[in-house]
Amino acid sequence: MQMMPMMPMMPMRRSLKSLLSAVVASAWLGLSAPAWAAAPAAGGAQPFADDVGAPPSDPDQNDAPVTANSTAPGDAKTETLCDDGVDNDGDTVYDCGDNDCAKAAACQTDGRPEFTEERCHDWLDNDRDGATDCDDSDCADMNACKGSWDRKAAPTSGVAAGRGPGSATAADGIDRSADPEDLLGKGQDVDGERSEHMCSDGYDNDHDGKTDCEDLGCRLDTSVVNCQPATNFRFSVVARTQGTYNVQENKANVEFSAIQLRVLGQIPYIQNSFFLLSFRAEKTPRMVFAIFQVPIKGGHYFNINSGSGSLSLELVRSIHKRLLVDPAFYMLNGFEQGNGAALEFGGPLDKRGKFLYRTFLAGGSGRFAGNIGGTFFPDGNNNFTYTAGAQLWMNLVGYYNRYDSPILYTPAPTTLSLAVGGKYDQRSQERYPAANIQTTFRYRRLILLGEVYGKRELNFGSWQVAYNVQMGILPIKKRLLLSADFGQYLATPFERPPATLGYDLRRQNQEMQYRVAAHVFLWRELFMLTLIWGDRRIRSSALIEGTEAATVTKNQDLRLVFQYRF
């Protein structure tokens, strides 16, 4: 599942990379240089610049002779002039970016808006709104703030390298010339906001001092499109082309297996709101999911959505956020249903945002993961279907939320989360309470996910449980991700078999499945080639099939999937 004025993409790219290098370098130097610890940055904000350590605007100034009234760059012990564009003391930052200038007249803020090229790269929070230079939305249309996503190598300097020109790694082990994704979770950033929902709720979910689109995770993660420069509404495409070989049937095929079209952005006139409209176009264009979310206060929210997904993570993940390409059918079929509409409330339970809650109430007969225009009453059964439940999400270590992607592209900060939820469902033929437990553990190049779903069918007397474990390993960052999963769906025979097996009951067969996949990143994590092998064994019980003996069907296939999004 997956807002802001349009800016040209290519011109934006060089500046942002320099800006990010400056931010990280300034934080590192602040820890290592005692002189910096004496005074805070002007205006109380971290210094930012479009090109830290750049030569002065006059190319001949470096060659100016040293006189009694001038100082050669690097000879002074402090920044002697705070408006000359020169790094007088050779500490890699100059003018108002140097804390030596904190009390200089030229570096005092005046409270007026940031509305010119000069004011948008002077390292000052001129309007005192807590956002400096290109962090301030007032500077969004300035040339100084049209940054970079082109992945070109940043020029090495004392700031970018940490050990002087030509060096790539600082004494603290941080690669200063790394791509922006490598900055997530480093320095003062806590890697806990990396989804459209978390980046549009008006709340600092990971408590690192940056809210929504100010947070590095929201700005740098390419899956968070509502924080990328764009028009007020953002249009996004996820597409998948695949070749499949079925071992049992000895058949091969090539097709567009999925095209997902999404429109998302902020609801007009409602600050920090969020909406998403998702279309699928595999067989016939249809809207499959819609959500309209508005903040209440303190990170709490309510939304109205089209009803797909209640407790399981797999139903709310977009098709490009899955380790094994598709969700495990057995984890959803017997436990989740596509209602027509849902109302959800949620938010944090503590000040640090470590514990979150969500409650939901949904109803309506649907079958198409969203049910917009797709009402379906199986077997001519007109019974009203509904579900109600709640879920508690616990970030035990770090931050991870239900909309995050498990796809590893670069080594990630350590996280450990646990979700516990319960609900009551009534389907056309069934009614049952269900419980769900999920856990996610992520450590640098490794991610482990586990989920258990269980229910007690009340009408016919059956216990049913399904589990799935997934693992992802990143052996080559930004190039190769390996993943695998294993799981089963198990059920006891009906104690009171129904006279007629309806549509839902006929599909609830015991099964076991394992899959392995290799993901090759062709261009960042936006273009990805995946080779996946699946082995699925389905056991149709005698009770459901009406036969004397159970039958086992084996389904093995090999797929090569090319997936891309923009």
pLDDT tens, residue by residue, 460-480: 888 999 999 999 999 999 999
355 pLDDT exceeds 70?
yes
pLDDT bracket for residue 457 (50, 70, 90): very high
The least confident of 5-14, 186-195, 296-305, 484-493 is 5-14
Q: What is the DSSP string of 189-229?
A: --S---STTGGGSSS-TT-SS--GGGSHHHHH-TT-GGGSS
pLDDT bracket for residue 525 (50, 70, 90): confident
Residues of the chain with CATH 2.40.160.10: 225-565
178 pLDDT exceeds 60?
no
User: What's the mean pLDDT in 190-194?
Assistant: 82
Residue 34 vs residues 23, 135, 162, 358: alpha-carbon distances, Å? 18, 27, 16, 46
Q: What is the DSSP string of 440-472?
A: EEEEETEEEEEEEEEEEETTTTEEEEEEEEEEE
Return the pLDDT at 24: 40
Q: Return the beta strands (E) in 266-411 as ranges.
A: 274-280, 286-295, 301-305, 341-348, 355-363, 386-397
Alpha-carbon distance of 177 to 241, in angstroms, equals 35
pLDDT bracket for residue 141 (50, 70, 90): low
Alpha-carbon distance of 220 to 299, in angstroms, equals 22
Return the pLDDT at 453: 96
- Nearest residue to 88 via CA among 66, 103, 105: 66
Please state whether the predicted TM-score (pTM) of the whole model is above 0.75. Answer: no
Provide the CATH number for the domain formed by 225-565 in this structure: 2.40.160.10
pLDDT bracket for residue 450 (50, 70, 90): very high
Residue 30 vs residues 21, 26, 46, 169, 270: alpha-carbon distances, Å? 14, 6, 10, 17, 39
Q: 142, 118 in Cβ contact below 8 A?
A: no
Residue located via tokens 């899956």 = 223
556 pLDDT exceeds 50?
yes
**Secondary structure of the chain: what % helix, strand, coil (to 5)?**
15, 35, 50
Of 344 and 134, more confident = 344
Q: What is the DSSP string of 462-509?
A: EEEEEEEEEEEEEEETTTEEEEEEEEEEEEPPPSS--SS--HHHHT--
Average pLDDT, the chain: 75
Quote the tokens at residue 436.
Answer: 């769900």
Return the pLDDT at 33: 39
Of 189 and 137, more confident = 189
Dihedral sign for Cα atoms in the order 83, 88, 94, 96? negative
Alpha-carbon distance of 20 to 473, in angstroms, equals 27
Of 172 and 21, more confident = 21
CB atoms within 10 A of CB 156: 18
Q: 371, 307 in Cβ contact below 8 A?
A: yes
Q: 339, 366 in Cβ contact below 8 A?
A: yes
pLDDT tens, residue by residue, 499-509: 877 777 877 78
pLDDT tens, residue by residue, 54-112: 223 332 222 323 233 334 444 557 777 887 777 787 776 778 888 888 888 888 888 77
Return the pLDDT at 367: 57
The least confident of 230-234, 316-320, 336-340, 437-441 is 230-234
Q: What is the DSSP letter of 319?
A: T
3-state secondary structure of 169: strand
Alpha-carbon distance of 316 to 180, in angstroms, equals 27
Residue 478 vs residues 61, 100, 170, 191, 525: alpha-carbon distances, Å? 42, 40, 21, 18, 8
pLDDT tens, residue by residue, 278-314: 888 877 777 888 899 999 988 899 999 887 668 988 7
Alpha-carbon distance of 499 to 483, in angstroms, equals 43
